[in-house]
A and B are shown apart, each in its own frame.
With several copies, the nearest count.
Chain A
Amino acid sequence: ATIPTRVAAGIRLALYVYEYLLHVGAQKSAQTFLSEIRWEKNITLGEPPGFLHSWWCVFWDLYCAAPDRREACEHSSEAKAFQDY
């Protein structure tokens, strides 16, 4: 069951990285990326900044708020509360 999961996860990540590249203004990288992974598909983007960026900000905040890391890196009080909960 894990193989399809990893393949599906890989497709979704590539899609969201492509979207991220466009939303940060790296158009050439985005087009180069599509051709290097040989995706000719037409792709509909989500709203800026895109899902990867939104997800990452939450993930990184929680990652930094972990008890054994929170002294070393910035994190929000909400993330700290979530981790402590």
Chain B
Amino acid sequence: LSEYAPPPNPNSDHLVAANPFDDNYNTISY
């Protein structure tokens, strides 16, 4: 993988592809 690839294991076990402009989107937990 190249330097532009994301880290292999993002810190949260469960990722939510939420719209970051949604009111209940919580930037901290992501």
Contacts and interface: CB of A to CB of B under 8 A. Distances in A.
B6 to A, nearest CB: 4
A44 B14 contact: yes
B12 to A, nearest CB: 7
Q: How large is the interface on B (under 10, 10 to 19, 20 to 34, 35 or more residues)?
A: 20 to 34
A84 interface: no
Contact of B12 (A7, A10, A41): A41
21 contacts: A11-B10, A12-B20, A24-B1, A25-B1, A25-B2, A25-B4, A26-B1, A37-B8, A39-B15, A41-B9, A41-B10, A41-B12, A41-B13, A43-B16, A44-B14, A44-B17, A46-B19, A48-B4, A49-B2, A69-B27, A72-B27
